[in-house]
Each structure stands twice: as C-alpha cells, then as structure tokens.
C-alpha cells in the first residue's frame, strides 16, 4: 500500500483530515501553503533505489524543464534504510545503496535547486519492512533533518494494537506532527512538509488505467471542502503514460489532480521506466503552465467542486462515472473542468450560473487552458463540442460586462424566475 493516496497536510498552520481541520502546535511561516510539485521514486523503482538513481532523476528534472515550471521536490520513498536501527536507536541508511550517506545526496540535490523528501511510517515498521517511527518520532525527525531532508511522507503500515497506541486516526499522526513542530522550534529550521497516508480516507493505490482515475476522482469530489491553503487532499502520484492511459485520459488525469489542488508528484512509471524515456506529449502535459498556475494559485487555495454530476443525479457516488461538471474560484477568474466520463465523444453543455462563482446577467470571456486560446465570449451558457471519450475541457472565465440587451427570456434559468407582478418569465 506504499503508493496510497495521502492527505497532504502542513505543520505551519493546521493538519487537515478529510472532514475538519485540527490545530497543531506549529510554525506559521508559510511552508506548505501550496500543493507540492515534484518527483517520487516509488511507482517505477519500488525498493530498487540507490543514490545514483535518485541523483540522476534530479538532474533529468532539470534538463527536461520540469524544474523551470515549478517542480521543486525530489523524494525518496521506502527501502532506503538498513533493516535494523543502530545500537543507539537511530535509523541507518543502507550502507551499500547509499554508500556516501544521505547528507551527501541531499547536498547535491539542493545544489541543483531542489528540496528533497524522505519516507517513514506511523507504525512499528514501514510497508517494506524497514524501521517505522512509532515511539521514535522525534528521534527520526531529527535524523531526517540532520540528513538534510525537507519533506516527510508518513505511511500507515504495522500499526500498534489499540491498547498500545490508544489514539484515534488523528492522534496517531499528531505524534509525528508534534515532533516535527517541536524540532523546528528547537532548531530554528523551517518545518518539514508533512504528507500523511490514512488509508481509511482514500481509495487505494493509483494504477495507470481509467477505472482507477475515475474511482479516485469520484471519492475526492465529495471531500473537496477539505482542501485549502495548508491542507491538500493528495490523490496519489501522477500516472500519465506508460501505455495504460490514452493521451486524452492522461490530460484528464493531470487536469483533475491539478485543479483539485492535489500535490503533483511524478513517478517514473508515469512516463516509462526512466525519466529519460518521457515522450513530448507527456512532457507537454506535465509542463502546461496554465494548468499548473491554478494548482499553485497563491491567492485562492480552494479546490474546484462539482456543480452538476451530469449523467448521474447530483450527489451520486459512482466509482466508474464521477461528476462531470466542476468549477471553482482562482486568482485570475472562474475555473471550469468538464470531464467526459463516457466511452464515446460527447458535447457538454451547462448554464453559466449553475456555477456558484458566476453572476447572473453578465457575459464572460472564455480561455481554453489546453489549447491556450481565447475562445470569445459566453453568454448565459457554454457548450464544449466533441469532447473525446474520457477527455477533459479546462476553461478560465472572466467577467466581460453586462450581457447584451434584449435577450429573451429575461433570465437564463427561465423556469424559475418571474416579472415583478409574479408572471412567469416564460
């Protein structure tokens, strides 16, 4: 379960559950305000990692232009450690695969301009059978800081029995969040970015296939209210290519993750067995700066949310056909995502005021975030024509003034409005 989607929280303000915020004693210095962009070793390499592979991946993130558009983390997942702690109780890096030491590796990654992340577990052991951090939270946090890491992914295997842990799901993770906050306060260094995996909140590991994406999107569509600055629902690592998705499905995958404000962590298996195998099409998806700008909006932290489910009645949970019509605010306008969950090409129509972020009686300029074109002005409604199967349309709408005079009926949702004397508008 190592690649399970995680709830992405931060130590500098609040740690979010899927449903309500829980304050933690931490530093409010802005660390983790926005979703993380970066790279993770797990999905491609699993336990077959070493210092050369991690450094090569960081170098490729630079040469491919991913760093230039904002990807800033290079993260090591499970299996980097020796199976046993040292005589003094510390986690020890594998002496063969990380022969030059973790600090040497993180120094080189930092010199490339990245931050870097490490992995541990809230239980006795990690999911790969390496030492977990239960009852060693502050000790391990100190080790990770001494090694030079900036980010901690915290998993959910080998959980102690209830009569030992005596905590609910929040308390179990608060042990490490408090340790990280305490370490930051005592050392004067910025707090770690804290990415926690609570499987009861998520849908299982992502797979590079449409059914897996639909399952995760459906689940996340019901908890979008839990995403804002300092707390991000992590929908799991990106799985864009590697033969499992069509190009249109890959675009839908990236769009949904980005606009729902999930962290965007590229695993090498998302594009092949090695970052050097990335295709121009997939690289183009990963470097769509207009989509990335919504994910990294520093003014508005909210996720898009469904305003209409589409082929299903509203509020229907359907793991194979999630909601199709989404919108949300952003610094630069109202964002729309139209997701064609059908297995055939479809036109997708909506009235503008179905979105709570649109004002009645106004017209809106339309920017397509995938074609990078300005597509005229929408008055009252919009139709996306010929959306491919499992494809997506991403739009940015901006107020362009009053709608033209003389339009009949006098309101877009004509069956629900009336003249001053009470006569129906239709």
Q: Which residues are catalytic?
A: 155, 205
Write the DSSP assignment of 121-134 as a string of letters: ESSSB-TTSSB--T
- What is the number of alpha carbons within 13 Å of residue 302 lying toward its C-beta? 15
* Contacts of 101 by beta carbon, 8 Å cutoff, 6+ apart: 93, 147
* Contacts of 422 by beta carbon, 8 Å cutoff, 6+ apart: none
Tokens of 309: 């489910």
Cα 195 from Cα 278, distance rounded (Å): 26
* Contacts of 28 by beta carbon, 8 Å cutoff, 6+ apart: 12, 13
Cα 368 from Cα 333, distance rounded (Å): 12
The gap between the terminal CA atoms of the chain, to the nearest Å, is 56
Q: Which residue has the tokens 């390499």?
A: 45
**Secondary structure (3-state) at 176:** helix
Cis peptide bond N-terminal to 320, omega within 30: no
Cα 149 from Cα 128, distance rounded (Å): 20
Pairing state between β 373-379 and 362-368: antiparallel
| Strand runs labelled E in 169-276 | 193-196, 231-233, 264-267
For 8, 111, 327, the CA distances from 304, given in Å and listed in that order, are 17, 36, 5
At how many degrees (to 10) do helices 102-111 and 137-147 cross?
50
* Contacts of 299 by beta carbon, 8 Å cutoff, 6+ apart: 330, 331
Pairing state between β 264-267 and 37-40: parallel
Number of H helices, E strands in the chain: 10, 18
* Contacts of 226 by beta carbon, 8 Å cutoff, 6+ apart: 7, 16, 17, 18, 19, 20, 233
Closest CA to 228 of 38, 16, 4: 16
């Amino acid at each position: 379960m190592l690649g399970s989607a995680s709830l992405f929280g931060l130590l500098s303000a609040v740690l979010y559950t899927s449903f309500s915020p829980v304050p933690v004693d931490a530093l409010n210095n802005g660390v983790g305000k926005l979703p993380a962009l970066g790279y993770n070793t797990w999905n491609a390499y699993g336990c077959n990692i070493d210092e050369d592979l991690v450094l090569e991946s960081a170098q490729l993130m630079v040469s491919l232009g991913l760093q230039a558009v904002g990807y800033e983390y290079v993260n090591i997942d499970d299996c980097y450690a020796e199976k046993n702690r040292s005589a003094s109780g510390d986690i020890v890096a594998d002496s063969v695969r990380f022969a030059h030491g973790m600090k040497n590796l993180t120094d080189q990654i930092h010199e490339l301009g990245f931050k870097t992340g490490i992995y541990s577990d809230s239980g006795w052991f990690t999911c790969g059978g390496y030492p977990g951090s239960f009852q060693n939270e502050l000790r391990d946090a100190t080790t990770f800081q001494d090694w030079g890491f900036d980010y901690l992914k915290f998993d959910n295997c080998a959980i102690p029995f209830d009569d030992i842990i005596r905590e609910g799901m929040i308390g179990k993770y608060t042990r490490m969040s408090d340790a990280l906050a305490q370490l930051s306060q005592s050392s004067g260094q910025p707090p770690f970015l804290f990415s926690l995996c609570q499987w009861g909140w998520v849908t299982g590991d992502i797979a590079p296939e449409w059914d897996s994406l639909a399952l995760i999107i459906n689940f996340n569509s019901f908890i979008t209210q839990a995403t804002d600055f300092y707390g991000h629902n992590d929908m799991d690592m990106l799985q864009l290519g590697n033969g499992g998705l069509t190009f249109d499905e890959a675009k839908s995958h990236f769009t949904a993750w980005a606009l729902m404000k999930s962290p965007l962590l590229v695993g090498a298996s998302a594009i092949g067995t090695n970052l050097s195998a990335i295709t121009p099409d997939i690289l183009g998806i990963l470097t769509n700066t207009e989509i990335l700008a919504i994910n990294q909006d520093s003014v508005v932290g909210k996720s898009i949310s469904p305003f209409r489910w589409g082929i299903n009645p509203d509020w229907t949970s359907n793991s194979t056909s999630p909601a199709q019509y989404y919108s949300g605010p952003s610094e630069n306008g109202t964002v729309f995502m139209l997701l064609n969950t059908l297995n055939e090409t479809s036109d997708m129509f909506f009235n503008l005021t179905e979105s709570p972020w649109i004002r009645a009686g106004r017209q809106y300029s339309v920017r397509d975030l995938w074609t990078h074109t300005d597509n005229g002005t929408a008055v009252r409604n919009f139709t996306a024509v010929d959306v491919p199967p499992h494809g997506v349309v991403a739009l940015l709408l901006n107020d362009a003034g009053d709608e033209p005079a003389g339009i009949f009926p006098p309101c877009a949702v004509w069956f629900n409005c009336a003249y001053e004397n009470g006569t129906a508008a239709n």
